[in-house]
Chains A and B, each alone.
Chain A
Amino acid sequence: MNADMITELRKGNNMTVEIKESRETLLSIRDLHVWYELRRFGFGRAGYVKAVDNVSFELAEGETVAVVGESGCGKSSLMKTILGLNIPTSGEVVFDGKNLAQLKASELRDYRFEIGYVQQDPYGALPPFMTVQQILEEPLIISGVKNKEERLERIRKAMDEVKLHPSDDFLPKFPHMLSGGQQQRIVIARAMILQPRLIVADEPVSMLDASVRVEILKLMRALQEKYHLSVIYITHDLSTVKYFSARIFVMYAGNLIEKADTRQLLDNPLHPYTTALLAATSDPDAHNADSYKEVPPGEPPSLANPPKGCRFHPRCSKIINGLCDEKEPVEFEPVPEHFVACWLYQPK
């Protein structure tokens, strides 16, 4: 009886992502490098933190991808560059056929209105001394919606989209009066309010409880489908990816080391790092306690001084000595549309 009830509750809420036919390219990233300068005082040469190194991909209109990787691997740096907040050290960000580097200041401003940003940490994302109404009104004012009535109209609509009703109850509230899940809905409403074509969601649910997490992911999925949005979903949690994204990019120490359709990547991971991530992800099961997990030794490298050759080589059990520790792997495509930067897949 209980099981039936739960099945009932699940109805009409299926989350599995279908892979749709390819469409117009919306965003294209070419040979992108984002290096931060390390400043040293006194003597010494300054080095660089190579937060994003040699990253390329394309994102179609209406497509969803997940960027998965551990803390400090460069996920936020990549996204901030796409948002135009970081200037690339080299390489290009092309949105809708326009190269970001060639935009005038006013064009860059308009460009930012095309992207909604759901930032990491909902608790820090909302200004504490602004009401919900002020928070949602701000982007409308900046983008030049002069009519007060129209602004209110659009705020109400956005709140309706994220299912915060009755909206009038929420408008005068300050963020601290809202639960974590409600705050994250406001963050999403703010990202949606200028009707962007691309949403960048940086760990949108990692600070939330399990029971709320799924609700927010489902909400974002519904909005994505309704408005045919492109979405880049950044996360370290592989178990949520398949519910939200058609493709996965795995990032390690500034590089995208594997790119494939979600199902393909989860079923047939190729890169040793991806395999390790999947093995380390637990599903709740009492038998987990009976055995130890196999985990690669060590920790991700410093991006100021990454290892020579493959950046994963000091931790890799499959290392090919003399090759992996010398030459940076190039990208291979051992299976159509499944890309991997690892020497194991070099065609013979």
Chain B
Amino acid sequence: MTTTSEKLLNIENLVLHFKTSGGSVQAVDGVDFELGTNRAVVILGESGCGKTSLSKALLRLLPRNVDKYSGKVFLQNQDVMLLNDEEYRQNVRWVGISLVPQAAMNALNPVLKVGDQVAEPAMIHLGLSKAEAYGLVYKMFQHVGVPADFVARYPFELSGGMRQRVALAMALVTSPSLIVLDEPTSALDLLTQANIMNVLKRIKHELGTSFILITHDIATSSELADEVAIMYAGQIVENGDAKDFFPAPLHPYSQMLMASVPRLRSDSDPMFITGQPPSLMNPPAGCRFAARCPFRFEKCSQEPPVFQKGNRKVKCWLYQ
């Protein structure tokens, strides 16, 4: 429903495969989705389905053993995949898209004051002096709820929740229009998680930032989601508005995944999905979910295309 002009991000057929001694790992295998300005999409999927790899592909943070990296990534209508590494570093990473990596709160530099760490990207990528950068640091600390005097502290002097807020402040300090968050709350306590989700909501509201929230925590993800994309074995199998998705997921995998979530406020009996996701080394031909799908039929031995159902997308033959 977003018109082209307010479309912030458009990903087409993004592919990232890794070379290993056993063969090529197809961690991201033809991912498409788009995101509007000031919107949040959550990417949900089980461990190993390729979520972190997708964030790496998006930010071009590639390991050495890349086997294949291709596709189109339009950021504000510019295909950033066409930029060379230097142009990408200068124009896209940090200033366009920031990443809060998985376990970021444990990746802060232990021997640097957190204020200096947050100031650094503003100095490097915005060309600010240290004093100017610190002006932004204080502003960001306020947005994420870190007391101003914490700038002089070292990471070990902060709780996990506070360190996670610092990591978030660091991603924000360059005013990117999009922030990619990889499992931002999964290592945190319940009340801290709820606090961080509040902070993200407030930033979205106050700064107009867009988010890609990558997680396997379905319940918590609904705190921020405008849109949902379900990832399975390297591919997006369903994508649509959160208000449509949560009450009635379409793809059989989405349905079973949602049914596996224990709920506090209902007595529905959670179920589980038998079997395991396929290996990404040699994914089966046809629908990758077929081996675990109770609805599979003859057609499913061919790879399903993405079908449009209303304003939702689903990669399953049931919706032909």
Contacts and interface: CB of A to CB of B under 8 A. Distances in A.
B219 A282 contact: yes
Interface in B251-284: 252, 255-267, 269-274, 276
A119 to B, nearest CB: 18
A286 B225 contact: yes
Contacts of B245: 286
A10 interface: yes
B255 to A, nearest CB: 6
B216 interface: yes
B219 A215 contact: no
Nearest to B228: A286
A295 B198 contact: yes
Interface residues of B, number: 56
Contacts of A13: 269, 271
Interface in B121-166: 159-161
A173 interface: no
Interface residues of A, number: 49
Given A211-B46, A211-B273, A9 B194 contact: no
Given A285-B246, A288-B222, A214 B191 contact: no
Contacts of A70: 189-191
In the complex, which of the residues B263, B270, B273 has the most CB atoms of chain A within 10 Å of its own CB atom?
B270
B190 A218 contact: no
Interface string A66-89: 000011000000000000000000
Contacts of A14: 269
A6 B226 CA distance: 26
Interface stretch (A110-118, A136-144, A238-246): A238-246
Contacts of A281: 190, 219, 264
Contacts of B257: 210-211
A210 B225 contact: no
A296 B191 contact: yes
A213 B198 contact: no
Interface string B210-224: 000000101111111
Interface of B: 40, 46-47, 159-161, 189-195, 197-198, 201-202, 216, 218-226, 241-243, 245-247, 252, 255-267, 269-274, 276, 294-295
